[in-house]
Amino acid sequence: MASRRAFLAGLAAATLPRMSWAEAGNPSYLAAAQLADGTFALHGLSAAGHSLFDLPLPARGHAAAAHPTQALAVAFARRPGTFALVLDAVTGSVAHRLAPPGNRHFNGHGAFSADGTRLYTAEQRADDSAGIMGIWETAGFTRTGEVLTHGIGPHDLKRLPDGSLIVANGGIATDPTDRTKLNLDTMRASLARLDGDGTLLSLAEMPQEYVQNSIRHLTLIPGGVAMALQWEGDPAEAVPLLALWQEDQITLCPAPLAEAARMQGYAGSIAATAGQIAITSSHGGVIQIYGIDGAFQQTLTRIDASGIAAQGDGFLVTDGTGALTRITAAGITAVETMPLAWDNHLVALDGAV
């Protein structure tokens, strides 16, 4: 009887009309935040940086994935995550609540297929941190399978223009109870490219001299991907925290030594325009700007800089003080401040999230 009820509920959900993003106010960005009362929410932001809606979350959120056509957003818990909520941005209701299978947890990121019929989720096995990519159909958001990501501790996950998936295997094995890092002496980050069914197409590993650079977050650039890195080695070393992946090769992009040191070994979020790449460091309170070729350009100061996304030929930035700021050729200008603390990411609703 229970399975029959589940079947009928799924059938009903599949036949209900799904609203478009236009009916949700045409948000341009999604961002998780902690509110002043200590609760959590996912906000939909306009192109101007104003909140169009906020949907409650049961715990701290991390990133989100937006359906390419329907007004559905999947909000992922901070790792090790036990929930991912499929939120109806028009009604504000929870359409589905996803949970990882036993001995798995979500790692904060996911991506839809180009046609929106599949959701892919970054996960890892709790006992050995082996990377898993969960596969879900989106008519009723049921899990249809999973594949290995061919690495340890996967984090970000993006869909490439050809429909394949690129997974950032951070390389770090963690204790699922307290996130203690277990293998820093032997870690090796990698980028795995998988087809829509999970077949491995290519694997690129971090160069030997930077094996303790963990690949965390990704953004698409022409012909490849740019990566935000987090250094797990000697904190006195100021190493490159931006890398490019093109033609299945990883290339590190150094900044001048004094500028690299300002990042404090931590690149949190990353975004790219047609001509520039930007990475944030909440630890260092800075944003660094590079050319699309990875050449360093400048460092800008912004306290607790967290999420970042492209906005025209510039960037929109969120931070832990509740502020949104805009970066243009003229510098940083204030957009709005809200009584909350923005979390790690600002996700653009551009069909490639």
Banded model confidence at residue 87, pLDDT cuts 50, 70, 90: confident
The yes-or-no verdict on residue 204 having pLDDT over 50 is yes
The yes-or-no verdict on residue 329 having pLDDT over 60 is yes
Mean pLDDT, the chain, whole residue set: 89
- Which range has the worst mean pLDDT, 171-175, 279-283, 304-308? 171-175
pLDDT at position 352 is 33
The yes-or-no verdict on residue 12 having pLDDT over 50 is no
Enumerate the H helices of 160-263 as residue ranges: 257-261
pLDDT at position 69 is 87
More confident residue, 344 or 341: 341
Banded model confidence at residue 351, pLDDT cuts 50, 70, 90: very low
More confident residue, 91 or 77: 77
Tell me: the pLDDT tens digits for 14-39? 434 566 677 766 788 989 999 999 99
Tell me: the pLDDT tens digits for 117-173? 999 999 999 888 999 999 999 999 999 999 999 999 999 999 999 999 999 999 988
What are the chain's domains?
Answer: 16-348 (2.130.10.10)
- Which range has the worst mean pLDDT, 4-8, 136-140, 186-190, 286-290? 4-8
The yes-or-no verdict on residue 260 having pLDDT over 50 is yes
Two tokens, residue 225: 């991907």
Cβ partners under 8 Å of residue 25, min gap 6: 44, 46, 52, 53
Banded model confidence at residue 93, pLDDT cuts 50, 70, 90: confident
pLDDT at position 1 is 32
Q: What average pLDDT score do residues 71-99 get?
A: 88
Assess contact for 270 and 344: CB atoms under 8 A: no
Q: What average pLDDT score do residues 80-98 get?
A: 87
On the CB side of 268, how many CA atoms lie within 13 Å of its CA? 27
Share of the chain above pLDDT 90, in %: 70
Taking CA atoms, 73 is separated from 135, 303, 347, in Å, by 16, 28, 11
Closest to 43 measured CA to CA, from 351, 339, 244 = 339
Taking CA atoms, 226 is separated from 156, 233, 270, 325, 326, in Å, by 12, 21, 8, 22, 21
Q: What average pLDDT score do residues 274-301 get?
A: 97
Two tokens, residue 26: 């045409």
Assess contact for 244 and 210: CB atoms under 8 A: no
- Which range has the worst mean pLDDT, 46-55, 101-110, 139-148, 264-273? 46-55
